[in-house]
Structure 1
Amino acid sequence: MISVKSVSHEYPSGHHINFKDWMIKDGEQWLLLGASGSGKTTLLHILTGILKPSQGQVTMDTTSIYDLSSKELDQFRGRNIGIIFQRPHLIKSLSISENLLMAQSFAKLPENEDRVNEVLNALGIADKKNAYQKELSQGQLQRVSIARAVINKPALLIADEPTSSLDDKNAAAVLELLLEQSGLNHATLIVATHDKRVKNAFTNTYEL
């Protein structure tokens, strides 16, 4: 269960956004919808602990994430939240497998090559295990981004505009993978977008 309660944020410019309360049950799949500049990324950063709101509280199960120290929050995020950005955030000098093992290490979890193989197989890129970022296509990199996000079996999976730069065919494929992987990993899914193409795949919508 994730609870967003009485959350608001004020930017250095003085612009202020109040976010309506939001209750998310375990395993639900949500669309976070809004035009560019509406506050989607700000809310995502608040949900993931990257940005502390001016006021309000975000709770995951029994943990109020902004009551954690910076070090505790980093570890909590690594273990409980998987984030898929528009562009891959990988260490270019490491192979795909090494990047996934490092994600386990950052979360203070034991490195588990069996889990790496399991995830890469599920995403259809097991043959790219020893490849490097520069050797992969855009579609393959998007799959690696999903792999990195789900490697630690997070309770919450967040995708920030995952389809905005993709054509219809690849957008549909990525969306299908996100829904599939959230189900396989028993993760709550939140997809933030202004892309109308993904709207019909979700029954739960939080709109800004």
Structure 2
Amino acid sequence: MISIKALAHAYNQDKKINFDDWQVSKGEQWLLLGNSGSGKSTLLHILTGILSPSTGQVEINETEIYQLKPRELDRFRALHIGIVFQRPHLIKSLTIQENLLMAQSFAGLPENRNRIQEVLESLAISASSHQYPSTLSQGQLQRASIARAVINKPALLIADEPTSSLDDQNAGTVLRLLKEQTELNQSTLVIATHDQRIKEAFTHTYTL
């Protein structure tokens, strides 16, 4: 599912980050641990096709993503990778349903309102489908962000610091939702964090 080999990224002559080889099988759930400045964000950006590494190979779902042309990489990401950011990345001028329709469109998929309803119901926010992001609570926004990430049934679900700003109860809820959605969509899960509270919930850990 994920394979990185001889991977490194150099920001300049004085700062180069080398990453250990890493193999992740389909359906596994991994924690990517590291302190601030350790290279977590760099590795996430490389895995999601946002930042091209200086050297090395990145294979996701049996595709070497940096062998793809830019437009091909954009479509691959939209189809196969779901991303939950630390802060919600939703278009404020669109309703939650319209945000999810847009996600389907970016992936080149046909409009599927039944799928949208299914996802929103699984996250217990179907009543908010016609609301705008600015009208939602923080918890609802977090669920909407997860919906946005899983709407296209991605092979890989990546969450960037999803619990770091949350209290214990809400952190536990978000972690449960991410795991549930991973299992529902038969995805592979990678959560990047420095939040030690969720470490015990994972048997696989990649540490930077």
Q: Do Structure 1 and Structure 2 share a fold, with TM-score over 0.5?
A: yes
Mapping 1:158-177, distance limit 5 Å: 158-177=158-177
Q: Deviations over 1:85-122 (max 9, x none)?
A: 01111111100000000000011111100000000000
The percent of aligned pairs where both chains have the same amino acid is 67
Give the aligned residue type for 2:27: G
In structure 2, what is the Cα distance between the partners aligned to 1:156 and 1:179? 12
Q: Which runs of 5+ in 1 are unaligned?
A: none
Is residue 106 of structure 1 aligned with residue 87 of structure 2? no
2:47 is aligned to 47
1:150 is aligned to 150
In structure 1, what is the Cα distance between the partners aligned to 2:178 and 2:14? 36
Given that 2:119 and 2:151 are in contact with CA atoms closer than 8 Å, whether structure 1 keeps it comes out as: yes
Q: How many residues align?
A: 208
1:35 is aligned to 35
* Secondary structure of 1:11 counterpart: strand
Q: Which runs of 5+ in 2 are unaligned?
A: none
Give the aligned residue type for 2:23: M
Give the aligned residue type for 2:186: H
In structure 2, what is the Cα distance between the partners aligned to 1:23 and 1:151? 25
Give the aligned residue type for 1:110: P
In structure 2, what is the Cα distance between the partners aligned to 1:62 and 1:134? 39
1:93 is aligned to 93
2:128 is aligned to 128
Give the aligned residue type for 2:155: A
- Cα offset, 1:194, TM superposition: 0.2
Give every structure 1 segment of 4 or more consecutive aligned residues whose post-TM-superposition deviation is greater than 6 Å. Answer: none
- Cα offset, 1:63, TM superposition: 1.0
2:203 is aligned to 203
- Cα offset, 1:14, TM superposition: 2.7
1:69 is aligned to 69
In structure 2, what is the Cα distance between the partners aligned to 1:38 and 1:13? 17
Given that 2:61 and 2:155 are in contact with CA atoms closer than 8 Å, whether structure 1 keeps it comes out as: no
Q: Deviations over 1:145-185 (max 9, x none)?
A: 00000000000000000001101110000000001100100
In structure 2, what is the Cα distance between the partners aligned to 1:117 and 1:141? 16
1:189 is aligned to 189
In structure 1, what is the Cα distance between the partners aligned to 2:125 and 2:165? 21
Give the aligned residue type for 1:181: Q
The two structures, once aligned, show a CA RMSD in angstroms of 0.7
Given that 2:6 and 2:55 are in contact with CA atoms closer than 8 Å, whether structure 1 keeps it comes out as: yes
In structure 2, what is the Cα distance between the partners aligned to 1:134 and 1:45? 27
In structure 1, what is the Cα distance between the partners aligned to 2:198 and 2:162? 10
- Cα offset, 1:13, TM superposition: 6.2
2:137 is aligned to 137
Calculate the TM-score normalised by the size of structure 2: 0.99
- Cα offset, 1:62, TM superposition: 2.6
In structure 2, what is the Cα distance between the partners aligned to 1:135 and 1:18? 43
In structure 2, what is the Cα distance between the partners aligned to 1:115 and 1:12? 45
